[in-house]
Structure 1
Amino acid sequence: MEKYLIEQPWKIVEEGFDKTKNRFSESIFSLGNGFMGLRGNFEENYSGDKMNGTYLAGVYYPDKTRVGWWKNGYPEYFAKVLNSTNWLGIEIKVDGDTLDLNDCEIKEFKRELDMKCGILYRTFIVVMPNKKEIKVNASRFVSMERNELGVISYEISILNGDGKVTVTPYLDGNVHNEDSNYDEYFWVHEGENSINDRSFVNLKTKKTEFYTNTGMSFHIYMDDSPLELPRENNQKGGFISQTVESEVKQNQSLKVVKYVSCVTSRDHEITDLTKVSNKNLEEAEKSGYTILENEHKNRWEHIWETSDVQIEGSESAQQAIRFNIFNMMQTYTGVDSRLNIGPKGFTGEKYGGSTYWDTEAYCIPFYLSTSAEDISKNLLIYRYKQLDKAIENAEKLGFTGGAALFPMVTMNGEECHNEWEITFEEIHRNGAILYGIYTYIQKTMDKDYLAQYGLEVLIAVSRFWAQRVNYSNEKKQYVMLGVTGPNEYENNVNNNWYTNKIAQWSLKYTLESIKWVKNNHKNRYQEIISKINFTSDEVKKFTEVANNMYFPEKDGIFLQQDGFLDKDIVNVDDLKPEDRPINQNWSWDRILRSSCIKQADVLQGMYFFEDQFTTEEHLKNFKFYEPLTVHESSLSPCVHGILASKLGLADKAYEMYLRTARLDLDNYNNDTEDGCHITSMAGTWMSIVHGFGGLRYKEGEMFLSPTIPNAWDSYNFKIIDKNSPISVHVNKKHVTIDAELERDIFINNKKYTIGPKEVLKVNL
């Protein structure tokens, strides 16, 4: 863990430039708008260590699987969200020397992400090798209003004399992914061209044949007055630039405003890409930087109105929760049901930028409470549209009759994860898909979703579970062999408690849903069962398996899997500091034989299905498993924090909150340089709202059981409930609720009715 960034409520601030932390900072200062995004790279040349990254949502490449030993059923590829045309570039020369912070004496440096308005600022003063002292003020944003547009303002001054400044804005399509399995370039250059001083680069992906057009235009100003300068064009093999130069007197400022358009064949006809991009640039130039900036700020203002969490008493906690919310909102906007949420968003390449079970388990609750209901519904429809692929995935592994196995990792519904212990064995993800449907309906009461989309998914997944179990003659129950649970530090185990639990729950929820659709949408029910050839014998099978599932248990402890107590049980606090994190210091053999748990496993199930267990069962299992957990998954601390809040373990709840909230800002797991942990950021929000706030939804009813950390004076969160905003304020003495519409709310299980435009105040 490292404290490198300055703590401010609305800003992430880096003062001073540490080359060894550049990749870390590039991840932290990433920007996006749901359609595209980029890491916090520099506009000017930088020859030091860096990872350039510019990404377009939904544009991917099927990178051929690389494994040492091929196994039947392996996916043929791992989908990679592609590093696309670098549009940041503005090469700067002063009296012929190229500006490069790797070669300069840095006198001042400050980088600042303003989360309130979604703008990245950077200012620095350096002495170049030719002794010219220059100052740069730069700002940029990826427009939340015009999702195909990025804008840069870059201003340079000479502080110790006059000089000639050469400015070369460019687009560079000669890009590759650092995580390419075979060091392959995934793009084909389709040409470069210019229209009215606007420049364009056209690329096409190999195999998947996504076409992209990136266009740029720029204006030059001297002390904010427009400056017309001759331009020298240069283009070759996926690269295009325009160069201008001007004499600059001491303390004058030469500014370039660069507009960028990124369009793809996902949204436009291939033959129209250049035309659309040119139009985007033309409209951006007419609007100008200030109007575009104000549009963008207004959109962020609207986002924060319904999603902000305010904390009094801890600037560190306040900054952290806003950083997490900011990244969630700039990663996924929900307007395109073809898109989902990659674990790294637009901040890096790790995990391929693909969809994981994180979406249903962690992200849907966040968007359900901070955005319109359609946003979360689109995440469910995304899975529904990929149901046929999920059935194909199961067929490849030998399942029949319409059984579906949703992928661990995917872009288009096909499984593309290629570690056998995950691909074949981490099947609990199938249950998370159904849990996402359940979560959505519990809050919205949109049960019609079951008839329209959900029931087909539920039955297909339950068919998988019914085939995946074995009947044990010894135990006289159904067992699940050869699986990996959420704790990926255990592979190929029998009867992982969580996997068995979510399989059982899935079957029961499917049976309940069948009855509801049959009773309330008879015609649609007949249409579904006819389409998928569903029979009453399957209802019997689902019932039999659900009622006879085996769960390992001893003395009130739900055992993570068969044989877990055969291990040497060692608490994490007893490990040597140099052993942490164990995934970077231990052999895999040692990890597998240890009792160390990567993330919530049994406790994940107790969190999902909390009402099935007594307080005593919760407490006993929490006190057993949490001390064994190394929290080396970003998804771990939030679940433990929510459970600790429920159990009244205030210190542990706050410890877990700080860990999840500042996971990336403080680089807890020494891996932020790969990109931020976007999907776990939803868990940070859950730690406050579901943890400290105790928010739950049951059959459309809203329940709160608020607590407040000792370190805070108060906190306030906002949620969208029945498409209307509600504000919840908690201090040491009271919870105060402000609602626009009349609403029944249960606080500590006591029912209150709040009228429209009323404020409800209840003693804690």
Structure 2
Amino acid sequence: MKNYITHAEWSVIEEGFHPAYNEITESLMSLGNGRMGQRGNFEERYSGKSLSGNYVAGVYFPDKTRVGWWKNGYPDYFAKVLNACNWIGIDIRIGDEMLDLAEVEVEEFRRELNMKEGVLYRSAVVKLRSGVRVRLTAERFNSMADDESGAIRYSITLPDTDNEVKITPYLDGTIKNRDANYGQHFWDEVAKETAFAEGYLVLETIENPYKVERFQVATGMAYDLYLDGERIDFDAIPEKREKYVAGNITVKLPSQKELVLVKYGVNLSSANHERSRLLDNAKAYIDRVRKKGYQALKAAHVLAWAEKWERNDIMIDGDVAAQQGIRFNIFHLEQTYTGKDARLNIGPKGFTGEKYGGSTYWDTEAYCIPFYLATADASVARNLLVYRHRHLGKAIDNAAKLGFGYGAALYPMVTMNGEECHNEWEITFEEIHRNGAIAYAIYDYVRYTGDTDYLGTHGLEVLIGISRFWKQRFNWSEDKKAFVMLGVTGPNEYENNVNNNWYTNYIANWTLKYTLSVVDGLQSSDALNEVFEKVRFNYETERGDWEAILAKTHFPYDPERGVFLQQDGFLDKDLLTVDQIADHRPINQNWSWDRILRSCFIKQADVLQGMYFFEEDFTDEQLRKNFDFYEPMTVHESSLSPCVHAILAARIDRPEKAYEMYVRTSRLDLDDYNNDTEDGLHITSMAGTWMSIVKGFAGQRVVGNRLVFKTFVPENWNAYSFRIAFRGTLLQVKVSKEKTNVQRLSGDPLLLEVNGATLTV
């Protein structure tokens, strides 16, 4: 773990410069607005350890994935989120020396992500090799109010001497992905233009053989100059190179005078604008935000954040580190996905890095949808489900490539457009539990919102496709006299190609049962008949097949211990506990894959994941036995693991363990628990942090049509509070050690259960 970030309730602060951790800090201080984002890179040059990253939502490239161990059914490509044009760049030359924070003496340094405002601030005093001292400040935001734009205020002061300062704001399209093969560039130049204090680049993704759309992005900049607060005239000498435009400004800067460059930037994608109008629209957008001016643009942005925090803040009394952690997680969730566009989804790194390709995983359905159900209008979670419905045809194609037919649907493990694009066989072919998470999300959405109409218009069609897949994926075992599922990988990726993974079998069985219940609920309706006709559903045959599986699905179980087994043969492993390998952690960075696969150690919950989803199916005693058996073997080297354990620990009255797991999930990136924050943040697991408090400490559930709370306060907290929406009603929940108070802020009265008491608010 790292411990260099200052604990503060509303900010992520780096006091003093830590160049060895710079890529970690860049990840932590990333900015976004749902349409565009970038890592917390410096505007000026930096030749030290850095991952430059600028990203545009929905823009990707289908990188060739064929390798020597090709298997039939492999996807053709791996979808890479593309490092787009760097719009934030500002070169600074003082006299004859370029400002580079890796090449100067840093006397003072402070970097702060103000989460309340959504603004990144930085200040520093440095001494150049020439001996000239420079004071610089910078602030930057990606506008939540004008979500294809951002702005920078960059300030230079020379404390001791007059000197000539050359400022070069630029757009650079020559950058490339760190994970690019052989240094490949993914952008072609379409057009570039410069005008006075303006510049534009239009780039297009290079050709690909997979018939995947080529994206164009128009990036624009405009800038103004101020001296001691007064706008000044200046000459800007344009500069053009391949995929690069800039303006060069030279100013004689007197000592103690503050020189400020305000730079506006826009990123417009062909996904949202006509290609023929892309450049003109970028010019109009730049003109609009520039006329607003920096302060007005910032004020609108800060107001947009204030409205988000007004609804979604979680306040913790008595624990600054915990308070910082939950706000950090909420902040990055809110700036990654706004729910405005059903074509978009939530990449596991958001706008903070390139790892995992920036694509959509099952994380959205299992972890993110509960957050958006409770903190946003129902349309936001609905759009996430509509995203999957739009891709149903491709899910059926994905299943067909693996040999399944009759409308069976296998949703991809990794995708940008519905096509599978993951290139590891044990994931692509075997981690099929993702289908179950999508079915569960439909159930979760309908249960939470009461929107049963969704089932007839979208949900049932998806459920039937998934259920048909499960029917074909099970096979009858004459030996076990049961239906079994062979050769799978569960959520715990430290066990591959196993037979009868308990979680996969359970959620597949549940999906068949739930789909039949939806059919029964829609019985004789026009919507049901339309779906049956569309998918050619044979009611008698298919129901009979599914009910046969429901009656005789094999679930591995150890009657001696009273626990469900991860999979067949799990007890053949050497059952060690994590404390016996403390010096080997994290094992994914210290052990061979062979050793990991043969060990009992669990990356993230399988059995416990299923018991979290379907808590009502199990007694507290069953939960306790399984938790006590598996948690000591769990290394939590998946970001998705600690929150599930926090929620279950709270239910079985293990408050210390619940708090321990909350701290781990809330500060996973802030403290770099898994030594991987430099690659980007764990955006989707951040929703699990929210769940750890709301579903864990506050015990929020939906039972029937009723919202239920069973609350406790961690020992070192005094109290906590949050707001939660349920079926159009917004509630304020305040929990102290003495009492739980629930207040209705808007909407209709609700019947609730709070700590065993039924009441109406």
Could you tell me the TM-score, scaled by structure 1's length? 0.98
- Counterpart of 1:542, as a letter, is W
SS of the residue corresponding to residue 220 of structure 2 reads strand
Partners of 1:191 and 1:237 within 8 A in 2: no
Q: In 2, Cα distance between the equivalents of 1:16 and 1:392?
A: 53
Q: Which residue does the alignment assign to 1:747?
A: 754
1:201-600 matched pairs, under 5 angstroms: 201-206=201-206, 207=208, 208-519=213-524, 522-536=525-539, 537-555=541-559, 556-577=562-583, 579-600=584-605
- Counterpart of 1:198, as a letter, is E
Q: In 2, Cα distance between the equivalents of 1:68 and 1:703?
A: 54
SS of the residue corresponding to residue 268 of structure 2 reads strand
SS of the residue corresponding to residue 561 of structure 1 reads coil
Q: In 2, Cα distance between the equivalents of 1:68 and 1:650?
A: 50
CA apart distance, 1:231: 1.1
SS of the residue corresponding to residue 183 of structure 2 reads coil
Q: Which residue does the alignment assign to 1:639?
A: 644
Q: Which residue does the alignment assign to 2:669?
A: 664
- Counterpart of 1:210, as a letter, is F
- Counterpart of 1:33, as a letter, is N
SS of the residue corresponding to residue 562 of structure 1 reads coil
C-alpha distance after superposition, 1:62-119 (max 9, x if no partner): 0111534001001111101100000010000111210000000000000000000100
Q: Which residue does the alignment assign to 1:84?
A: 84
Q: Which residue does the alignment assign to 1:15?
A: 15
CA apart distance, 1:198: 1.9
- Counterpart of 1:62, as a letter, is P
Q: Which residue does the alignment assign to 1:6?
A: 6
CA apart distance, 1:182: 4.3
Q: Which residue does the alignment assign to 1:46?
A: 46
C-alpha distance after superposition, 1:301-337 (max 9, x if no partner): 0001111000001000000000000000000000000
CA apart distance, 1:722: 2.4
Q: Which residue does the alignment assign to 2:614?
A: 609
C-alpha distance after superposition, 1:468-519 (max 9, x if no partner): 0010111111000000011100000000000000000000000001111224
CA apart distance, 1:454: 0.2
Partners of 1:65 and 1:181 within 8 A in 2: no
Q: Which residue does the alignment assign to 2:112?
A: 112
SS of the residue corresponding to residue 193 of structure 1 reads strand
Q: Which residue does the alignment assign to 2:148?
A: 148
Q: In 1, Cα distance between the equivalents of 2:398 and 2:295?
A: 50
C-alpha distance after superposition, 1:368-404 (max 9, x if no partner): 1111100000000000000000000000000000000
Q: In 1, Cα distance between the equivalents of 2:242 and 2:358?
A: 27
SS of the residue corresponding to residue 415 of structure 2 reads coil
Q: In 2, Cα distance between the equivalents of 1:233 and 1:139?
A: 25
Q: In 2, Cα distance between the equivalents of 1:107 and 1:218?
A: 29
- Counterpart of 2:351, as a letter, is F
Change (3 A) 1:376 1:451: same
Partners of 1:192 and 1:201 within 8 A in 2: yes
C-alpha distance after superposition, 1:518-542 (max 9, x if no partner): 24xx212111111111002011111
Q: Which residue does the alignment assign to 1:715?
A: 720
SS of the residue corresponding to residue 79 of structure 2 reads strand
SS of the residue corresponding to residue 293 of structure 2 reads helix
Partners of 1:306 and 1:720 within 8 A in 2: no
C-alpha distance after superposition, 1:251-306 (max 9, x if no partner): 10100000001101000100111111111111111110110001000100000111
RMSD: 0.9
Partners of 1:444 and 1:700 within 8 A in 2: no
Partners of 1:443 and 1:701 within 8 A in 2: no
Q: Which residue does the alignment assign to 1:139?
A: 139
- 1:732 aligned onto 2:737: yes
Q: For structure 1, which runs of at least 5 residues remain unmatched after alignment?
A: 755-764
Task: Choose the corresponding residue for 2:708, options 698, 703, 708.
Answer: 703
Q: In 2, Cα distance between the equivalents of 1:51 and 1:574?
A: 36
Q: In 2, Cα distance between the equivalents of 1:662 and 1:38?
A: 21
Q: In 1, Cα distance between the equivalents of 2:754 and 2:21?
A: 46
Q: In 1, Cα distance between the equivalents of 2:484 and 2:182?
A: 40
Partners of 2:195 and 2:238 within 8 A in 1: no
Partners of 2:348 and 2:358 within 8 A in 1: yes
- Counterpart of 1:199, as a letter, is G
C-alpha distance after superposition, 1:158-213 (max 9, x if no partner): 01110111100000000211112443211111121124542100100123310110
CA apart distance, 1:742: 1.4
Q: In 2, Cα distance between the equivalents of 1:469 and 1:3?
A: 48
Task: Choose the corresponding residue for 1:624, options 623, 629, 643.
Answer: 629
CA apart distance, 1:544: 1.2
- Counterpart of 1:246, as a letter, is V
- Counterpart of 2:572, as a letter, is D
Partners of 2:197 and 2:224 within 8 A in 1: no
Q: In 2, Cα distance between the equivalents of 1:146 and 1:581?
A: 42
Partners of 2:485 and 2:505 within 8 A in 1: yes
SS of the residue corresponding to residue 124 of structure 1 reads strand
Q: Which residue does the alignment assign to 1:758?
A: none
CA apart distance, 1:723: 2.7
Q: Which residue does the alignment assign to 1:653?
A: 658
Q: In 1, Cα distance between the equivalents of 2:322 and 2:443?
A: 31
Partners of 1:443 and 1:699 within 8 A in 2: no
Moved over 6 A (4+): none
Once the two structures are overlaid, the 10-residue window that deviates more, 187-196 or 104-113, is 187-196
SS of the residue corresponding to residue 219 of structure 2 reads strand
C-alpha distance after superposition, 1:429-479 (max 9, x if no partner): 000001111111111010110001000000000000000001011111100
Partners of 2:2 and 2:672 within 8 A in 1: yes
Q: In 2, Cα distance between the equivalents of 1:456 and 1:674?
A: 38
SS of the residue corresponding to residue 390 of structure 1 reads helix
Q: Which residue does the alignment assign to 2:184?
A: 184
Once the two structures are overlaid, the 10-residue window that deviates more, 268-277 or 720-729, is 720-729
- Counterpart of 1:665, as a letter, is L
CA apart distance, 1:215: 0.3
Partners of 2:194 and 2:238 within 8 A in 1: no
Alignment: residue pair count: 751
Q: In 2, Cα distance between the equivalents of 1:500 and 1:576?
A: 32
Once the two structures are overlaid, the 10-residue window that deviates more, 190-199 or 323-332, is 190-199
- Counterpart of 1:479, as a letter, is V
- Counterpart of 1:531, as a letter, is K
Q: For structure 2, which runs of at least 5 residues remain unmatched after alignment?
A: none
Q: Which residue does the alignment assign to 1:762?
A: none
Partners of 2:196 and 2:236 within 8 A in 1: no
- Counterpart of 1:120, as a letter, is L
